[in-house]
Amino acid sequence: MGHIEDRRDQGRGWRARYRGPDHRERSKSFKRRIDAERFLASVEVSLIEGSWVDPKLGKIRFDEFAERVFSSRMNLRPSTRTRDETYLRRHVLPQFGDVPVKLIRRNDVQEWVRSLSEDKGLAPRTVRECYRILGGIMREAALERLISESPCQRISLPRVNHVERRFLSASEVEVLAQAIDARYSPIVHVGAYLGLRWGEIAGLKRKHVDFLRRRVQIVGSLERDGNRVRYVEETKTINSRRSVPVPPFLIEKLALHLADAPETEFVFTAPEGGLLLYHGWRSRFWKPAVERASLGHVTMHELRHTAAALWIDQGANPVTVQRRMGHKDVRTTLQLYGHLFPEQDDLLTQRMEMLYRQSLAAPPRPENNTELGTLSGENL
């Protein structure tokens, strides 16, 4: 239990003294005794509840603690780490970097979110990413007992407007494949029929194409690490490691492509060899092809959406689409493409109607007292 010292004779008012869980004594001074008593009572309650935090620990600057948090993260992919560090450096540290962790308040966070959205004009998704990074760091601070609770609670965030995804038809895919440089025509088909991400396409190795069984193994990808791009033996998620069946026509196209492609370990390379980098390839080959095909604005990633749409149109169920896309679970698939399944609902409704009609046309079951006896009130 703590106690209060009268230090008015020294002109210092009242001092509340107590011992923390580590048995070290701490103190805080007040002008009025009642304030010291209230403080001591609150400390004793927090000690009993286990919610007490050392006030000295919360004095660490936010930028110092953020660096400690980021350096301890072991399972981040290089591209994810680079992205998060960029958001932290550009948008989070300028606001909170030199502020002690314990002095960051909820209203400070809300005002910062508003400023990012309204004053700086950042996109809603970018604002949410910045807030996610700040929230993660403050949760770590609460877990380490630097603060009693995170200030990132019930914060109003800008709404991300839904953008209708573009899905190409099979004929539009073919027009685009004919419009692009012949060396990269198979990329259009791989994207639109296999649903691979760009990093998976550019990182696809020859040894992972099984021509006999007509499958490709997705085990790695190209990723940006700072200012360079490298191949890593990992995918976006564990579920992204998958085996994707390939239609016969596409296996033939891949075989013809590899017969003339540069002798490297990768299926697709830059024109002069080496890794196929997205931004250069997009400006040099993709955009001109889209313009020649007169398809309007189409991004490379929309070929992945197109693949899902084509599968669903041909009767694929959500689980099959999930596995081929490499989604973590089927909820992601339904969130992205659930609206493409209405014909399945209509078909099920028709079958329920048929089932009911068949039940009316079926002959009635013969009465059998022995069989029905177990349902009678006498046997209950």
Dump pLDDT digits (tens) for 170-211: 999 999 999 999 999 999 999 999 999 999 999 999 999 999
The residue ranges of the chain whose pLDDT is under 50 are 371-380
**Packing angle, helices 78-87 and 62-72, rounded to 10:** 170
- How high is the pLDDT of residue 373? 45
Classify 100 as helix, strand or coil.
strand
Dump pLDDT digits (tens) for 25-77: 888 888 898 988 888 888 887 777 777 777 777 889 999 999 999 988 867 77
Q: Which element (helix H / strand E) includes 252?
A: helix 248-260
- How high is the pLDDT of residue 342? 67
CB atoms within 10 A of CB 343: 11
- How high is the pLDDT of residue 222? 87
**pLDDT more than 90, % of the chain:** 53
Rg, the chain, Cα only? 31
Report the CATH architecture of 59-143.
Answer: Orthogonal Bundle (1.10)
**CATH T-level topology, domain 170-338:** hpI Integrase; Chain A (1.10.443)
Please state the domain extents for the chain: 3-52, 59-143, 170-338
**Amino acid at the residue 318:** P
d(CA 310, CA 342): 14
- How high is the pLDDT of residue 68? 93
Classify 54 as helix, strand or coil.
coil
- Of the candidates 334, 324, 276, 283, the one whose C-alpha atom is nearest the C-alpha of residue 304 is 324
Classify 143 as helix, strand or coil.
helix
d(CA 309, CA 164): 13
d(CA 263, CA 181): 19
- Of the candidates 99, 111, 104, the one whose C-alpha atom is nearest the C-alpha of residue 138 is 104
**Amino acid at the residue 166:** R
Counting other chains too, the contacts that 255-260 makes at CB distance below 8 Å and 24 or more residues apart are: 255/211, 257/183, 257/185, 257/186, 258/206, 258/209, 260/183
DSSP per residue over 178-206, as a string?
HHS-GGGHHHHHHHHHH---HHHHHT-BG
Q: Which two tokens stand for residue 71?
A: 């350096």
CB 248 within 8 A of CB 214: yes
CB 298 within 8 A of CB 176: yes
